[in-house]
Chains A and B, each alone.
Chain A
Amino acid sequence: MSQYNLALCLPELALFGVMAVLFVQSLSPDGSRRCLCWLPYGGLATIAAALLGINDNGSLFYGAYQIDALAQFFKLAVAVGFTIAALNAANPPQLDAAKKPDYYFFLAASAWGLMLLASCVECITIYVALEISSYSLYAVVPLRAKERQAAEAGIKYILFGAVATAIALYGLSYLWASHGTTYLTALAGQDFSLADAPLAAAGLAMFLCGMFYKLALFPFHFWAPDVYQGSANETSAFIATLPKLGAAVVLVRFASLLTPGLEVTLLLAVLGAVSMTYGNLAALAQRDVKRMLGYSSVAHAGYLMLGLVSGTSEGLAAASFYALVYILMNLAIFWVLCRIAPEGKNVVLEDLDGLSRREPVLAVVLAVSAFALVGLPPTAGFMGKLMLLKSAWGHGYNWLVIVAVLNTAIAIYYYLSLVRHAYTHDTEDTAPHRVQRPLGELVWGLALAVVLLIMGTVPGAVFDLATAAGHAVMP
């Protein structure tokens, strides 16, 4: 029964256990009143399982499920992201207490779908795993008490998602019709040039559109700012980070099918360039911080394309590394936003005024994550971006590298305006009083900032994992 060797699926099983407990808790009559403080430990157990299985290799379910370095790297990233997001959402102020177990159940289910996605190497399974992750999020977005915006965000997310899925499935039918298989292993080495296999090229491009939607790459970015703005702060922290991992891992797997010079590769490069420019320019004009981060995620989706177009394992490794860095930076900045948001309302730039006096620790975390999002040394954002730029240079996409560097310069303005508001602007009221916070909140925030700094100064260990991940799909 080697097709069903469950010992290779430890991280999935651990997270599934978390899901099962949450489900039982949401059904039990007084489940909502029972303590949910075990959840971070469940997350830690998942991380431990992912670390334990980091070197596993194998193929399950008749070749549809590949356990390799790439999958394990992303599973670890999902486990880490889920744990931080669950900690971050420990006490959402705008969530009905009776719904708390359900809320976490959907977050866990979504993360579980992403873990599945990390290992899928068969297109239909990829689609189904992606849907597990999306459906859970569709249910979570409107859960924000007394906010009309949240319902609007929910509808937008579902409708855009449905259209993107339809396009992806339609593309899959072309891919299937022209190459007669849905297995990535069989698709590798097939022809994807527009001249010789036009339908396969069109199909591949359309299938990838489904992933672009999750990644919020131009022109599938419309939902990002609206959904970030409309959903509760804790929910947007999750939506802004984890689903991008799922999209990134599928794109990395598919990028191993592509070589530079193909039309599909060119499409990735052009969309990436437009995406970063548009995202950064639109972010300049935003006052709502979550909306600004929404546009910033559009720009970051563009940066990720740098790693995918080069057609080398270094590029794929850089993209994987950047995906991990990206979720950490965003979780750090959302950590600050969720803490300082008054009663869970949205944060505008002016709310940050005087933050350094009121809450110096959170101000430091904000500064570190903003520096990381710009890509300034010595943060992880700098390392990630450096690897991306380096991997894309010299493979026929130098123009894309130049566009990316120019965009980083634009991005400095709005990211640093966050820091400027926190450090140099003062509030109107004369004596800003220090706010007392539970120690745990500050410690976790600082820990995130420290991780960002460590991954920027000594990225070796994590980058080795990413390199192994890149080599796993493109030797």
Chain B
Amino acid sequence: MTLDFLTADAAAKALFVLYFLAILVGGIMAVAAKSLVKAMLGLIKTLFGVSGMYLLMQAPFVALMQLLIYVGAVSVLIFFAIMLTRGEEEGRPAMGKKILAVLAAAAPAARVGGLLLRHAPMPAGTPVEISLQALGQLLLTDYVLAFEAISLVLFVAMAGAVVLGFERRLSK
């Protein structure tokens, strides 16, 4: 048996479907799971799928960062947060509400999906890898303001977390 049918194109398509399924299943798991830990596992699955998509787009650096930062660091942090806080058991939303929520999400998704199916431009050729140097060059020229302003976003977010965290401690 030969593997001739396994061209690069077919392999890419198969991988795309695989990553797509990982993202979708993970997302549904994250939303629908009853326990927070299971929801987190779903989120991690999604993040893995996204990093696979980056690999397909010839962006190995971004894919690695996705794994290192999101799967590696952020998820562990969230696990710690789940461990350290005791969430109260919340009532499940009523069935009617769930159906409405699904409908509300599906309506715009169907509109946009329809548009995409009819009009999305097909990618031409194989993607080319952008060198790290070029990426860095862009970050420090065209996108320098956004790049620097992100540090302020992080700073404000951290300060906010500290202030609210102390709030909780004091009120108990």
Contact = CB atoms under 8 A, between A and B. Distances in A.
Interface of A: 23, 60-65, 96, 99, 102, 105-106, 109, 113, 116, 120, 122, 124-125, 127-129, 131-132, 135-136, 138-139, 142-143, 145-146, 177-178, 198-199, 202, 206
A198 B112 CA distance: 10
Nearest to B138: A62
A199 B116 contact: yes
Contacts of B141: 62
A120 B146 CA distance: 10
A12 B106 CA distance: 42
Given A96-B170, A139-B159, A132 B153 contact: yes
B160 A135 contact: yes
B95 interface: no
Contacts, number: 84
A62 B140 CA distance: 10
A202 B116 CA distance: 10
Contacts of B167: 96, 99, 142-143
A472 to B, nearest CB: 19
A199 B119 contact: yes
A81 B11 CA distance: 57
B159 A102 contact: yes
11 contacts: A61-B144, A63-B142, A64-B142, A96-B170, A99-B167, A106-B156, A106-B163, A125-B149, A136-B160, A198-B119, A199-B115
Contacts of B150: 128
B144 A105 contact: no
Contacts of A23: 159
A65 B141 CA distance: 12
B146 A124 contact: yes
Contact of B120 (A113, A128, A145, A199): A199
Interface in B113-172: 115-116, 118-121, 141-146, 149-150, 152-153, 156-157, 159-161, 163-164, 167, 170-171
Interface in B54-96: none
B163 A99 contact: yes
Contacts of B152: 109, 113, 132
Contacts of A120: 145
Contacts of B119: 198-199
Given A128-B153, A129-B149, A64 B121 contact: no
Contacts of B118: 198
Contacts of A99: 163, 167
B49 to A, nearest CB: 17
A198 B120 CA distance: 9
B149 A128 contact: yes
B156 A136 contact: yes
B70 to A, nearest CB: 16
Contact of B156 (A116, A125, A135, A145): A135
A83 to B, nearest CB: 20
B163 A102 contact: yes
Given A143-B163, A198-B115, A202-B112, A62 B153 contact: no
Nearest to A130: B153
B143 A64 contact: yes
